[in-house]
């Protein structure tokens, strides 16, 4: 009786398993398949490594390097901004912490397009900031279309993803550790370095992962904030897929992106002991 | 030190909210400008509601969000229940890993991989086009599923394991026991999963972008198209509407969670009170 009931229960998961197999696993296999094949004139596919070797060429390799560099810089800036914020938040009154964290998370729920686009509007040559400059007699500055603008866009979009895990871990640090450190003679800075920093490390690693992954794969932010001057992996994939209809190249790029991310995650996991991260 | 951290927090919040507030402000702009605010006017909102194309896109988006979140919640809740009862550890962790993949992968990879599946199906069955409502619906359900499962699973774990057994002892069939006892117990998780799925569906751009074509547009895709042409403040009104609706959904979800929590607390307090009375009576 028990076994039958148990079986019926697990059977409840079968629709989901079927769905996942069909729409999560199989598509990923297709990415692999399309990446390793090219289309013949008659429409059939033949196995070939030419897509992958094309990646080393001039048109693709710099794009990868650029994406990684931008993502690393954006992640670092996010970390530098988010860490003090998370600490400040964890020191507030418990009752206000909940509301403050919701305020931090709220922009995250805003559409990516809208968030990026509104920054564009502020930074444009005819935008809010430049209008202000003009009105007080300063020259208008070119605030968009450069690397800084792209990084700003990334940082703005992904900052909450960095704050949340760090804050969650910090708020769980037992206050008595901090008290003990003070009792043993540490001043504020030493406590930070020797107690809080190591204890919050898992949150930092989560946050880095949650910012690096979307940063390296974004396409809208780089297009809009950089005026199309900085093509990234995401932009290239989008172009191949939607404009060139070159599904094979698009798949190859996606495959490499996935591998890149898996490698980064694996490296991260070696540095962290806790499992995964904290999600919304 | 405290004032420094206060100032820092304020600065960061200004940074986070400045663009959003500018957007809301300029959606009410009188002039056709995105940077000079002349006066307060609702004209852009009026234009929006008079625009048939926009209304169609809006209804598309809402129907898609509603349908995909309901489907994802049904499949996901069943999945969460089933997964918790799995005996085989290997299978359990395999299923969990696979179902978490859309969450872990960047959107663009999830979107592209599904698009490739559809492209292949198109080739296989010799169709002219396949992208449209069905494909984007499938895509939305797929990325909603992990979040539903994530919402429901904690509630399942929190539930008293003996409640369903008690129901069976009292004469329920297993199905009745599920619907009368378990489902109400995990309902807060189910509802929050539903809301989250709905919100994610409304907001999604990248995955939808790769999985739909021409005729069926969602709001974010429509906004994307608008940003490619010359821009007028009605894009801001549209965005503000989207923002406000997501905000309301989040507040609703938070209020419901608070309500559920307080109900639990009252129940626990009542039980403790009953026990104390009984002890006193002895």
> Cα(A224)–Cα(A145) distance, rounded to whole angstroms?
8
Mean of the pLDDT values across residues B61-87? 90
What are the distances in angstroms from CA B90 to CA B56, B86, B94, B257?
47, 10, 6, 33
Contacts of B117 (CB under 8 A, 6+ apart): A23, A26, A27, A30
A60 — phi, psi (to 5°)?
-115, -35
Kindly list the residues from chain A whose CB atom is less than 8 angstroms away from the CB atom of residue B108: 217-219, 234, 237-238, 254, 257
User: In this predicted model, what pLDDT tens digit does every residue of B206-225 receive, in sequence order?
Assistant: 899 888 877 788 888 888 88
Which pairs with CB-CB distance under 8 Å and at least 24 residues apart come from A54-62? A54/A249, A54/A252, A55/A252, A55/A253, A55/A256, A60/A236, A60/A253
Nearest residue in chain B measured CA to CA from A108? B16
* % of chain A with per-residue pLDDT over 90: 8
Task: Read off the pTM.
Answer: 0.83
Contact assessment for residue A70 and residue A223, using Cβ atoms and an 8 Å cutoff: no
Let me know if A160 is exposed, middle or buried by CB neighbors in 10 A (0-12, 13-18, 19+): buried
Residue of A110, A119, A166, A215 to mutate, testing the B interface (most B Cβ within 10 Å of its Cβ): A110
CA atoms B78, B81, B85, B91: torsion sign? positive
The mean predicted confidence, pLDDT, of chain B is: 83
User: In this predicted model, what pLDDT tens digit does every residue of B173-219 receive, in sequence order?
Assistant: 878 888 888 888 888 888 888 988 998 898 888 899 888 877 788 88
Name residue A38's beta-bridge partners: A46
**CA dihedral of residues B130, B133, B136, B139 (deg, nearest 10):** -100
Kindly list the residues from chain B whose CB atom is less than 8 angstroms away from the CB atom of residue A156: 15-16, 19
Tell if the CB–CB gap between B243 and A110 is shorter than 8 Å. Answer: yes
- The residue with tokens 């800036």 is A77
Compute CA B184 distance to the chain's CA centroid, rounded to the nearest angstrom: 21
| pLDDT value of residue B34 | 61
pLDDT tens string, chain A, 280 residues long: the values are 566 666 677 788 888 888 888 899 999 898 888 888 877 766 677 777 777 777 777 778 888 888 889 999 999 999 999 998 988 888 888 878 888 888 888 888 778 888 888 888 788 767 777 777 777 777 777 777 788 888 888 999 899 999 988 988 888 888 888 888 888 888 877 888 888 888 888 888 888 988 998 888 888 888 888 777 788 888 888 888 888 888 888 888 888 888 888 888 787 777 665 444 433 3
Give the containing element (helix H, strand E) for B94: helix B89-104
> Cα(B132)–Cα(B120) distance, rounded to whole angstroms?
15
Q: Which of B109, B247, B254 lies closest to A254 in CB terms? A: B109
Shortest alpha-carbon distance between residue B260 and chain A (Å): 17
Kindly list the residues from chain B whose CB atom is less than 8 angstroms away from the CB atom of residue A214: 106-107
ipTM score assigned to the predicted complex: 0.80
User: In this predicted model, what pLDDT tens digit does every residue of A222-262 receive, in sequence order?
Assistant: 888 877 778 888 888 888 888 888 888 888 888 888 888 88
Shortest alpha-carbon distance between residue B179 and chain A (Å): 13
Tell if the CB–CB gap between A156 and B17 is shorter than 8 Å. Answer: no
| pLDDT value of residue B141 | 93
Quickly state the pLDDT bin for B41 (edges 50, 70, 90): confident
């Amino acid at each position: 009786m028990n076994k039958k009931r148990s079986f019926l229960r697990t059977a409840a998961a079968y629709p989901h398993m079927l769905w996942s197999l069909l729409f999560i696993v199989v598509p990923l296999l297709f990415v692999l398949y399309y990446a390793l094949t090219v289309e013949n004139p008659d429409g059939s596919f033949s196995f070939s490594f030419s897509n992958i070797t094309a990646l080393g060429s001039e048109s693709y390799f710099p794009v990868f390097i650029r994406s990684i560099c931008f993502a690393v810089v954006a992640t670092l800036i996010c970390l530098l901004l988010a860490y003090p914020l998370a600490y400040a938040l964890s020191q507030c009154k418990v009752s206000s912490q909940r509301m403050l964290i919701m305020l931090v998370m709220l922009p995250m729920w805003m559409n990516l397009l809208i968030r990026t686009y509104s920054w564009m509007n502020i930074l444009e040559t005819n935008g809010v900031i430049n209008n202000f400059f003009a009105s007080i007699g300063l020259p208008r500055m070119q605030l968009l279309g450069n690397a800084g603008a792209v990084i700003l866009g990334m940082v703005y979009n992904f900052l909450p993803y960095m704050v949340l895990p760090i804050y969650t871990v910090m708020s769980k640090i037992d206050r008595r550790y901090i008290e003990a450190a003070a009792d043993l003679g540490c001043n504020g800075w030493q406590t930070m370095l020797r107690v809080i920093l190591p204890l919050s490390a898992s949150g930092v690693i989560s946050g880095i992962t949650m910012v690096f992954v979307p940063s390296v794969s974004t396409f809208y932010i780089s297009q809009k904030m950089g005026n199309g001057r900085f093509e990234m992996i995401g932009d290239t994939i989008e172009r191949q897929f939607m404009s060139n209809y070159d599904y094979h190249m698009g798949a190859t790029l996606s495959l490499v992106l996935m591998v890149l991310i898996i490698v980064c995650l694996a490296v991260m996991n070696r540095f962290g002991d806790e499992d995964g991260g904290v999600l919304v | 030190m405290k004032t420094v951290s206060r100032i820092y927090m304020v600065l960061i919040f200004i940074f986070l909210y400045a663009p959003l507030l500018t957007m809301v402000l300029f959606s009410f702009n009188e002039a056709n400008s995105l940077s000079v605010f002349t006066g307060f006017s609702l004209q852009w909102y009026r234009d929006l509601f008079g625009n048939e194309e926009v209304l169609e896109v809006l209804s598309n988006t809402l129907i898609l969000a509603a349908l995909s979140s309901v489907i994802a919640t049904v499949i996901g809740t069943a999945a969460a229940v089933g997964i918790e009862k799995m005996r085989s550890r290997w299978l359990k962790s395999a299923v969990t890993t696979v179902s978490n993949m859309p969450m872990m992968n960047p959107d663009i990879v999830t979107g592209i991989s599904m698009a490739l599946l559809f492209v292949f199906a198109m080739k296989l069955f010799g169709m002219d086009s396949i992208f449209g409502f069905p494909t984007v619906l499938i895509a939305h359900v797929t990325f909603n599923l992990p979040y539903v499962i994530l919402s429901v699973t904690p509630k399942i774990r929190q539930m008293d394991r003996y409640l369903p057994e008690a129901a069976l002892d009292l004469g329920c069939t297993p199905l009745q026991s599920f619907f009368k006892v378990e489902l109400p117990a995990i309902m807060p998780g189910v509802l929050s999963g539903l809301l989250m799925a709905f919100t994610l569906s409304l907001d999604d751009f990248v995955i939808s972008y790769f999985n739909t074509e021409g005729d069926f547009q969602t709001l974010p895709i429509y906004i994307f198209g608008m940003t490619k042409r010359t821009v007028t403040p009605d894009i801001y009104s549209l965005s503000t509407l989207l923002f406000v609706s997501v905000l309301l959904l989040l507040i609703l979800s938070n209020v419901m969670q608070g309500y559920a929590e307080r109900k639990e607390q009252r129940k626990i307090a009542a039980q403790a009170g009953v026990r104390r009375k009984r002890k006193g009576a002895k």
